[in-house]
């Protein structure tokens, strides 16, 4: 647990970066700091590992005042991930990951063994071990940065906009990987971002900060979307709060319909017969996982991947109302594709059927 009590940071000249911050980052949870530029997010983060010293107040980690600890010892016990990875350019991937264990006096063989295990855990292939950072993609560099922060198994991790320098697709992949790792490891994490959608997706609790380093609101993502404390928070959250809030409402037993399907390689004649006049037909692979939609009347040959329409998203059958509604609205057929935990097709659902369930949910008329 990380506890801030009356923490301030003021600079010569009268600028106050953080003004009287009091809050707790719970053990084993992700606390996300978010807010406009200049609100003191990064300053708050760096005061935890004393890269920036507070002007006043106390910061405690599991009841120990960080001001009483040796700064270098403190930092070696805290994982730290920054934008663009912050990797050592002259060290290989493996040696970058092994940095902190080696500083702690581990034998090189043990440090490298742990580094190899962590490469696999964060989704890096073994052949990347001997490469240098400039030989990696941005997403790979960020994975190395996360692995390096985890190498000595620290109980606390600080993450300063770690995914902001990569493209949206890679960013989403890294976020999903990060949540998977956290589910396994249960670290106490303080995460800084300027992206409210990232904060809502990743945070167990979200701290919205105002310029001047004060807290505008501290709440769970669901409570934040449902009940912003004032106009500043509401404006910062932006539009579509009701729709985004559906991500925190589990879908009930939706009225799933059996969806006609064909496999890749199916002939034109069979595809049109299965479609029975419908404009769109769902295509599945050999494992019964949906791969896209086709328009049977436009086929000139067997169903191949080159004619697939991949516009629709796929939702887990036991997922959120938002995922189910998005699947229905994004599908070219307007039939949302639902799958089981193995990715196999369960059936489809219509948007109006999801909306009916939303209206039945407590508070649904406010969504």
Domain boundary assignment for the chain: 2-248, 261-360
- Check: CB of residue 272 under 8 Å from CB of residue 297: yes
Q: Residue 361: what pLDDT?
A: 61
The band of 85, judged by pLDDT with boundaries at 50, 70 and 90, is low
Which tops the pLDDT comparison, 216 or 319?
Answer: 216
Q: Residue 362: what pLDDT?
A: 56
What's the topology of domain 2-248? Rossmann fold (3.40.50)
pLDDT at 101 > cutoff 50 = yes
Q: Residue 170: what pLDDT?
A: 82
Class of domain 261-360: alpha beta
Burial class (CB within 10 angstroms; exposed 0-12, middle 13-18, buried 19+) of 61: buried
- Cα atoms in the 13 Å half-sphere on the side-chain side of 53: 6
Query: Rounded distance, CA 39 to CA 209, Å?
Result: 6
The band of 365, judged by pLDDT with boundaries at 50, 70 and 90, is very low
Contacts for 276-285 with beta carbons within 8 Å, 24 or more apart? 278/333, 279/333, 280/309, 280/331, 280/332, 280/333, 280/335, 282/333, 282/335, 282/337, 282/345, 282/348, 283/308, 284/345
Q: Which 3 state secondary structure label does DSSP give 229?
A: coil
- Please name which of 55, 36, 50, 39 lies closest in space to residue 2, comparing C-alpha atoms: 50
pLDDT at 86 > cutoff 80 = no
What is the average pLDDT across 66-91? 86
What is the average pLDDT across 90-115? 90
Query: Rounded distance, CA 333 to CA 9, Å?
Result: 55
- Please name which of 208, 151, 147, 142 lies closest in space to residue 175, comparing C-alpha atoms: 142
Q: Which 3 state secondary structure label does DSSP give 102?
A: helix
Q: Residue 366: what pLDDT?
A: 42
Q: Which of 59-63, 252-256, 302-306 has the lowest mean pLDDT?
A: 252-256
pLDDT at 83 > cutoff 70 = yes
Q: Residue 367: what pLDDT?
A: 39
pLDDT digits (tens, 9 = 90+) for 139-188: 888 889 888 888 888 899 999 988 887 788 888 888 888 898 899 889 99
pLDDT at 136 > cutoff 50 = yes
pLDDT digits (tens, 9 = 90+) for 8-27: 999 888 789 999 999 999 99
Q: Residue 296: what pLDDT?
A: 93
Buried-state track 123-136, b at ≥16 Cβ within 10 A, e below 16: bbeeebbeeebeeb
pLDDT digits (tens, 9 = 90+) for 254-294: 889 999 999 999 999 999 999 998 999 999 999 999 999 99
Q: Residue 214: what pLDDT?
A: 93
């Amino acid at each position: 647990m990380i506890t801030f009590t009356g923490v301030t940071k003021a600079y010569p000249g009268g600028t106050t970066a953080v003004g009287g911050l009091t809050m707790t980052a719970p053990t084993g949870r992700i606390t996300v700091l978010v807010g406009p530029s200049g609100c003191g997010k990064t300053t708050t983060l760096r005061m935890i590992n004393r890269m920036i010293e507070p002007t006043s107040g106390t910061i405690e980690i599991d009841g120990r005042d960080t001001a009483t600890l040796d700064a270098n010892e403190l930092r070696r016990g805290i994982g730290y991930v920054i934008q663009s990875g912050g990797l050592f350019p002259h060290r290989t991937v493996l040696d970058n990951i092994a940095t902190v264990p080696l500083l702690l006096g581990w034998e090189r063989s043990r440090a490298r063994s742990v580094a190899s295990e962590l490469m696999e855990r964060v989704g890096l292939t073994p052949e990347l071990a001997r490469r240098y950072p400039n030989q990696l993609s941005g997403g790979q560099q960020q994975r190395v940065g996360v692995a390096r922060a985890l190498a000595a198994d620290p109980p606390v991790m600080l993450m300063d906009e770690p995914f902001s320098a990569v493209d949206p697709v890679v960013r989403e992949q890294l976020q999903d990987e990060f949540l998977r790792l956290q589910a396994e490891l249960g670290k106490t994490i303080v995460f800084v971002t300027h992206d409210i959608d990232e904060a809502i997706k990743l945070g167990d609790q979200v701290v919205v900060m105002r310029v001047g380093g004060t807290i505008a609101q501290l709440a769970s993502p669901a409570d934040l979307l449902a009940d912003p404390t004032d106009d500043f928070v509401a404006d910062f959250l932006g539009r579509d709060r009701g729709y985004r809030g559906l991500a925190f409402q589990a879908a009930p037993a939706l009225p799933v319909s059996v969806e006609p399907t064909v496999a890749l390689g199916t002939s034109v004649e069979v595809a049109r017969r299965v479609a029975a006049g419908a404009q769109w037909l769902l295509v599945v692979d050999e494992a019964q996982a949906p791969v896209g939609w086709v328009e049977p009347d436009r086929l000139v040959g067997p169903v191949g991947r080159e004619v697939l329409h991949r516009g629709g998203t796929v939702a887990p059958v036991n997922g959120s109302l938002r995922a189910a509604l998005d699947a229905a609205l994004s599908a070219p057929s307007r039939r949302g594709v639902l799958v089981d935990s193995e990715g196999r097709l369960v059936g489809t659902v219509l948007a109006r059927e999801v909306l009916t369930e939303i209206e039945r949910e407590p508070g649904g008329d406010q969504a």
